[in-house]
Amino acid sequence: MSQDQNTPLREDVRLLGEELGSVLREQAGDSLFNTVETIRQAAVESRSSGEMQVDRLHQLLDPLDNDTLLEVARAFSQFLNLANIAEQRHRERLHRQHQRFSGDPDTDRGLRQVLAELKNTNRSTDDIHTALRDLSVELVLTAHPTEVTRRTLIRKYDHVADLLAALDRPDLTQEESRELRRHLHEQILSAWSTDEIRRERPTPVDEAKWGFATIEQSLWQAVPQTMRAIEEELALAGLPPLPDNWVPIRFASWMGGDRDGNPNVTAAVTRKVLLLARWMAADLLLRDVENLLADLSMHKASEELLAQTGPSHEPYRLILRRVRYRLRNTRAQLEARINEQQEPAGAVFHSGQQLLTELNLIDRSLRAVGLSAIADGQLKDTLRRLNCFGITLLRLDIRQESTRHMDAIDAITRYLGLGNYATWDEQSKLDFLLAELDNRRPLIDEDFYHTDFCDGDVREVLETCKVVAEQGHEGFGAYVISMAKKPSDVLAVMLLQKIAGVTQPMRVVPLFETLDDLNNAADTMSTLLNIPQYKQRVLEGQEVMIGYSDSAKDAGFLGAAWAQFSTQEALTQIFRNHGIPLTLFHGRGGSISRGGSPTRMALLSQPPGSVAGRIRVTEQGEMIRFKYGRPSVAAYNLEQYVAATLEATLMPPAQPRPEWRNQMERLTEVSVQSYREVVRDDPALVAYLRTVTPETELRRLALGSRPAKRKPGGGVETLRAIPWVFAWTQMRLMLPAWLGTGTALEQALKQADEADTLGEMSREWPFFQGVVDMLEMVLAKSDTRVASWYEERLTDNEELIELGESLRERLAHTVSALQQLTGRESLLDNNPVMRWSIRVRDPYTDPLHLLQAELMARLRERENDAVLESALMVTIAGIAAGMRNTG
């Protein structure tokens, strides 16, 4: 990207910085402003000189009292949030202009480029049309606790972004510009005057409402906007139009359904979230219908429609009033259920098809009487929303850990006098489960629920399945089994649904997470497919989820990435042999060690044939806001998913060469061993994590409804992957994303033949290119000097100091090995925008890192200091904003 193209971004950053400085002067006086500015200048000079002048920054921070430390932390944190707004606004600007960041891996090719390349490769119009028609992209919104910004501040930041967009208009008068600047100042003042920190941990229902708000404020507009853009691209490419009801994008959610390790998600919570989602869908559709009522005043109508309305000057409004009446009743009845009140009488919509029938009648009539242009307006947008969101808004997944299902079945077999299911061998479990799945008689009676066998955990599993039975299939997606290991784990959930009386069962999706589970996934699924009863149940398709978080925590980034690739290859081949469509569900997060790579890179780095027109992906926490928080950005990212899925389906990468596979096997063997000798085998690692990183302090932050640990006590293995990544990111060591990889690359590069092979892989293999690009990005964000600050302030333990020195040395060797592989002297030489983004943030994150280490030390001496605790929470939020991908 040229300097000229980058100028608006720099101007926006400067503008927002000036307004924040003005607010600081007004609200806190010149003293605080001057303190902040002096610290910032010192940090800029420190970075510019190439030497981190830590002593200079310490001298400026040490004399400050606790109250001043809090205000300083808030100032730097606010700037980083404003810088993020400016950067996102710049992406919107470039997307609108159909320009591209040069070398920016966050930018992908649009549908126009993909369609042009498909034509150049002589793909037939029929092939492209068929692939698009069958395309399925499902994005699953999750509430992983990395979104540290309060919703109230997010709204203010959205207003700031809107004002930046308005200031971009070339035809602004001076008076209009002044007025917009005044509003901008107001919003920044409002943000400064708002507490950044969530004081109460959100409930699962709060998290679900946050997801609903993303749909209401952005995705409701973005979906029809995306579809219109796709429609235009297909017409430009000379492709025939797709069916009117074609919407290749769907949304699901884990918010209120993900109970793995979260005791706060209960059957009652899941029921309430389902009802709230339906209420929101009815409310949004009602708004659409009100708009249609205002617009569809014409009198010309088809005989089919007039047969329902009779003679009328406004027949469409008669139909729409009927629809409005039923939607109002639907909303009122749902509200009564939510509030546990008596439901009002009246006709309601029980299914999306009922509402589609009414709106399609209007659509057909308009087209039949020559009013297609009217039909292609707001009505078409509403139909597309209905086809995308249904009357349930989202499809809710249920997720539970495999042993919870085993315990429930075990309680039942003990109650029936059949023995301890949990102790049976795998074949005995399969024989029992298959026999009961085919048996028509009930397995248990109501008496079971009143016995000691049905304890709290068992009851909760069964109550959840009862909610599935009572709420109907339309609002549900997949039943995901975390820590799935064996075929019986899958059949157990099928049986539990049968016991609960589920007539249209949720599809059961095993989630393979650890390295061993990924390596055994093919055998598990092959065993299931060789069972005739099971194969018959999944003839229309099977979904398998690939875990990124726990596999990376278990084996390191490189080992996990290769295991994920190999597992997908094996599964793709097995299901192809059985003639059963396979959908791979990717449990990706925002960080590199959790699969967080740009859309096109992520899809093209999958094994050839594994996408096959169908993809399901989790979108988490701060990534939802970053990618889908604003309609124009959301529309861009949705189109990217469609384009990348089409490209990966019809132009998949070539099969990796045998020598590349062999090289990856050698690399991952060394990488996993090197990673585990630190994470598993070094007894000082857990103490280092809890002493030198803010892992312990993160628990003070009301991030999400889920506990930070799967189980109380224990070491790294009990930590959830998200806080594990978050803690290392906060102090810039970024350990989960590179540990082990550098050792593997370093060893391979010492051998001339292996070095040549690595060079070929990085040039020609999208999978390995993705690994290298993401590793380079995360290493550019790491900083050994910053990491050492925490150590210097927080420990004098020789064992921990020695481990820290070893880790920083490993990091330096990883950087050196990557530079040798890429041939680039500096990290991100090929990505100037990201390099600039990191550089502009460093003078604001450096003081926050120093402050965080100091505050951690002070708080550990005085635990109940509210000011220190608030200041620490602000540094956590500020650093998260500065790092962008936190966990």
Active site residues: 144, 553
Dist CA 886 CA 591 (whole Å):
6
- Among residues 105, 111, 116, which one has the least CA distance to residue 248? 111
Strand 395-401 relative to strand 476-482, pairing: parallel
In the structure encoding, which two tokens stand for residue 822, read together?
């890429």
Strand 614-620 relative to strand 582-587, pairing: parallel
In the structure encoding, which two tokens stand for residue 239, read together?
């492709």
Dist CA 143 CA 207 (whole Å):
6
CB-based contacts of 555, cutoff 8 Å, min separation 6 = 514, 515, 563, 672, 675, 676
Dist CA 89 CA 774 (whole Å):
23
816 conformational bin, left if phi > 0, alpha if psi -120 to 50, beta if neither: alpha
Residue 542 carries which side chain, given as an amino acid letter?
Q
CA dihedral 83, 88, 94, 100 (to 10 degrees): 90
The secondary structure of residue 707, as a DSSP letter, is -
- Among residues 240, 225, 249, which one has the least CA distance to residue 130? 240
Strand 249-253 relative to strand 395-401, pairing: parallel
CB-based contacts of 611, cutoff 8 Å, min separation 6 = 584, 603, 645, 648, 649, 652
Dist CA 333 CA 330 (whole Å):
5
Report helix angle 784-794 to 684-692, nearest 10: 90
Q: Measured on CA atoms in the order 652, 655, 660, 662, is the torsion positive or negative? A: positive
CB-based contacts of 867, cutoff 8 Å, min separation 6 = 66, 67, 70
CB-based contacts of 708, cutoff 8 Å, min separation 6 = 145, 698, 699, 719, 720, 723
The count of other CB atoms within 10 Å of the CB of residue 822 is: 17
Q: Measured on CA atoms in the order 801, 554, 483, 265, is the torsion positive or negative? A: positive
Do the beta carbons of residue 389 and residue 355 sit within 8 Å?
no
C-alpha pair distances (Å), 849 with each of 45, 216, 537? 17, 36, 54
